[in-house]
Homo-oligomer: A and B are copies of this chain.
Amino acid sequence: MTTTTKIKTDIEIAQETKLKRIQDIASELDLLEEELEPYGHYKAKISLHALKRLATKQDGHVILVTSINPTPAGEGKSTVTVGLGQALHKLGKKVMIAMREPSLGPTMGIKGGATGGGYSQVLPMEDINLHFTGDLHAITTANNALAALIDNHIHQGNELRIDTRRIVWKRAVDLNDRALRKVVVGLGGPTQGVPREDGFDITVASEIMAVFCLATDLQDLKRRLANMVVAYNVDRQPVTVADLGVEGALTLLLKDALKPNLVQTVEHVPALVHGGPFANIAHGCNSVIATKMAQKLGDYVVTEAGFGADLGAEKFLHIKARMGGIEPKAVVIVATIRALKMHGGVGKQQLASENVEALKKGLANLEKHIETIQAFGLPFVVAINRFITDTDKEIHALTTFCEEKGYPVSLTEVWEKGGDGGIDLARKVLEAIENTKSTYTPLYELDEPITDKIQKIARIVYGASDVSFSDKAKKQIEQFTSFGWDKFPICMAKTQYSLSDDPTKLGRPTDFTITVRELKPSIGAGFLVALTGDVMTMPGLPKQPAALQMDVDELGNARGLF
């Protein structure tokens, strides 16, 4: 872009795009008319019957987009995901994009969408960033219906002998609301229920969101919901949704939400936007059902996982890939010059200034993530997500490094140019898929002891020298093993800013220990969360929330979204 042109905002680009009717987007896919359930003119849900009908069809190739440890602004994974999809489409490939759906909390809190940016967005961004097709509301409702049913069970006699001090099921809102983190409910006397401590998580941190995203069909969803542990009884034995007998009701509340949502990109490439679990307390990927549906509808599927490769890609490969039978054929590792300079020691305020030395120092972070993807046996391409402040010297330093090491690398300009800005990346990804025999190998087996699984992730993926388990964690591991919960994969909850569990250790830290403070069983989702440091499951609003700018104009158009 020339410096004299005013740079358009994401919402301006979005609102200037003439969308195609969703039926027209769908008509190019192998879908029957009755399998498409339109929600307005530009969104649709796809019936799960399509998955059954296409069961014997060859699955499309999955391309996983991940990144280095990001800056707080993110590396632009969603933008690269959409841009790469658009580029593959331009190359004549039948492509589908599969992405997470955003939470309202961040939308109303801090400016910044989750639908890509510039000319690489999924649209209609206003709808997707607000209520969309109601999936998150359905999950919130199921979550809170379960909470109400638990409290009602206790109020009505507590046949299951639930220990009211040991209820682990929390309530949820899809908002940033710090005042709900710790609450006391059931106050007001004997007709208002039983008083107890409680708390609210943001919906995307709820176990139901993780369950929803890992379920392979409606019956699997019901089975997983039934397995969720909501409390412990007075004998310290787990109490599940099945014990309460309400897995049917929860499944009913989620049956429509479970159908993936079809939308389009700025360049009218079909995208499934479905499910969006947190990448700390959960696994941070869109739904298994959306990815599998995308594999049936496209020859190539571009999808992403939250945070850097140490968190998102690791979880995609150890949790989602295993549970869903989804093995990526290639990985794209997104890096920005800005983030690499940050890893080389440059402060936030100086990231816009050229600093080749810092950049070179920061490359160690990229290299560690490349090694991780290689350890999983997968081919990869490094995608440089170009920013306006990047200098030619900086870009040259990065590409030279990759070329010398033999790492495939591509400079992408998908924010500014849409698919055209990702053609080279697309060609290199196709090459990687065609030329390399993918040999996806998990780094641990499910039947290894819990501690071994965590050790392997920490040592191989993070480069840690050891893992230290708190006394509490040790006790829990013993207890979980006695409950038969030791065969689950591990979902690490760790800062996204560092390979270590200390967000200030940038670059490629060495000689560090990961401390596992506590574990949290997500038995419905089917993983054990290992918590290192504090994990935020309910964000707060900033002093000037984005909500203050949000409005509707006289024609009914969204304003101030970002």
Listed in ascending order, the chain A residues whose CB lies under 8 Å from chain B are 34, 37-41, 45, 48, 104, 108, 127, 130-131, 133-134, 137-138, 140-141, 144-145, 147-149, 151-152, 155-157, 173-188, 191-194, 218-219, 222, 245-246, 248-249, 251-253, 255-256, 540-541, 543, 545, 547-552, 554, 556, 558-561
Known: A174-B141, A191-B178, A558-B252. A245 touches B152 (CB 8 A): no
Measured between beta carbons, the chain B residues less than 8 angstroms from A554 are 219
Q: Please state if A185 and B179 are interface contacts (CB–CB under 8 Å).
A: yes
In the complex, how many angstroms separate the beta carbon of A552 from the nearest chain B beta carbon? 5
- The dominant DSSP class at the A interface is mixed
Q: Please state if B151 and A547 are interface contacts (CB–CB under 8 Å).
A: no
Q: Which residue of B lies closest to A34 (CB)?
A: B41
Q: Please state if B192 and A181 are interface contacts (CB–CB under 8 Å).
A: yes
Measured between beta carbons, the chain B residues less than 8 angstroms from A252 are 130, 550-552, 558-559, 561
Q: Please state if B152 and A545 are interface contacts (CB–CB under 8 Å).
A: yes
Q: Which of B131, B185, B219 contacts A141 (CB 8 A)?
A: B131
In the complex, how many angstroms separate the beta carbon of A76 from the nearest chain B beta carbon? 26
Measured between beta carbons, the chain B residues less than 8 angstroms from A194 are 179
In the complex, how many angstroms separate the beta carbon of A358 from the nearest chain B beta carbon? 33
Known: A148-B175, A152-B178, A183-B183. A130 touches B253 (CB 8 A): yes
Measured between beta carbons, the chain B residues less than 8 angstroms from A177 are 144, 147-148, 151-152
Q: Which of B40, B550, B556 contacts A39 (CB 8 A)?
A: B40
Q: Which residue of B lies closest to A257 (CB)?
A: B131
Measured between beta carbons, the chain B residues less than 8 angstroms from A41 are 34, 37
Q: Please state if B148 and A48 are interface contacts (CB–CB under 8 Å).
A: no
Q: Please state if A183 and B187 are interface contacts (CB–CB under 8 Å).
A: yes
Q: Please state if B249 and A148 are interface contacts (CB–CB under 8 Å).
A: no
Measured between beta carbons, the chain B residues less than 8 angstroms from A556 are 48, 218, 255
Q: Please state if A178 and B149 are interface contacts (CB–CB under 8 Å).
A: no
Measured between beta carbons, the chain B residues less than 8 angstroms from A180 are 148, 185
User: What is the bound-complex CA distance between A186 and B183, given in angstroms?
Assistant: 6
Q: Which of B151, B191, B249, B545 contacts A548 (CB 8 A)?
A: B249
* Copies of this chain, count: 2
Q: Which of B131, B248, B551 contacts A550 (CB 8 A)?
A: B248
Known: A255-B556, A552-B222. A547 touches B145 (CB 8 A): yes
Known: A131-B141, A151-B177, A192-B179. A548 touches B245 (CB 8 A): yes
Known: A38-B38, A141-B137, A141-B175. A541 touches B218 (CB 8 A): no
Known: A137-B131, A144-B173, A253-B130. A40 touches B38 (CB 8 A): yes
Q: Please state if B181 and A543 are interface contacts (CB–CB under 8 Å).
A: no
Q: Which of B157, B175, B251, B547 contacts A552 (CB 8 A)?
A: B251
In the complex, how many angstroms separate the beta carbon of A141 from the nearest chain B beta carbon? 7
Q: Please state if B175 and A193 are interface contacts (CB–CB under 8 Å).
A: no
Q: Which residue of B lies closest to A187 (CB)?
A: B182
In the complex, how many angstroms separate the beta carbon of A329 from the nearest chain B beta carbon? 32
Q: Which residue of B lies closest to A39 (CB)?
A: B39
Q: Please state if B178 and A182 are interface contacts (CB–CB under 8 Å).
A: no
Known: A177-B144, A249-B547, A548-B245. A541 touches B183 (CB 8 A): no
Q: Which residue of B lies closest to A245 (CB)?
A: B548
In the complex, how many angstroms separate the beta carbon of A449 from the nearest chain B beta carbon? 35
Q: Which of B127, B249, B558 contacts A551 (CB 8 A)?
A: B249
Q: Which residue of B lies closest to A36 (CB)?
A: B41
Measured between beta carbons, the chain B residues less than 8 angstroms from A108 are 145, 249
User: What is the bound-complex CA distance between A551 and B248, given in angstroms?
Assistant: 4
Q: Which of B34, B151, B251, B558 contacts A179 (CB 8 A)?
A: B151
Q: A155-B540, A157-B543 are in contact. List 17 more A-B contacts (CB 8 A).
A: A37-B41, A39-B40, A104-B141, A131-B141, A147-B179, A148-B177, A148-B179, A148-B541, A151-B178, A178-B191, A179-B185, A181-B187, A183-B183, A218-B552, A248-B552, A252-B552, A255-B558
In the complex, how many angstroms separate the beta carbon of A220 from the nearest chain B beta carbon? 12
Q: Which residue of B lies closest to A184 (CB)?
A: B184
Q: Please state if A178 and B156 are interface contacts (CB–CB under 8 Å).
A: no
In the complex, how many angstroms separate the beta carbon of A85 from the nearest chain B beta carbon? 26
In the complex, how many angstroms separate the beta carbon of A555 from the nearest chain B beta carbon? 9
User: What is the bound-complex CA distance between A246 and B108, given in angstroms?
Assistant: 11
Q: Which residue of B lies closest to A546 (CB)?
A: B249
Q: Which of B131, B181, B192 contacts A182 (CB 8 A)?
A: B192
Q: Please state if B148 and A176 are interface contacts (CB–CB under 8 Å).
A: yes
User: What is the bound-complex CA distance between A419 and B34, given in angstroms?
Assistant: 30
Q: Which residue of B lies closest to A246 (CB)?
A: B547
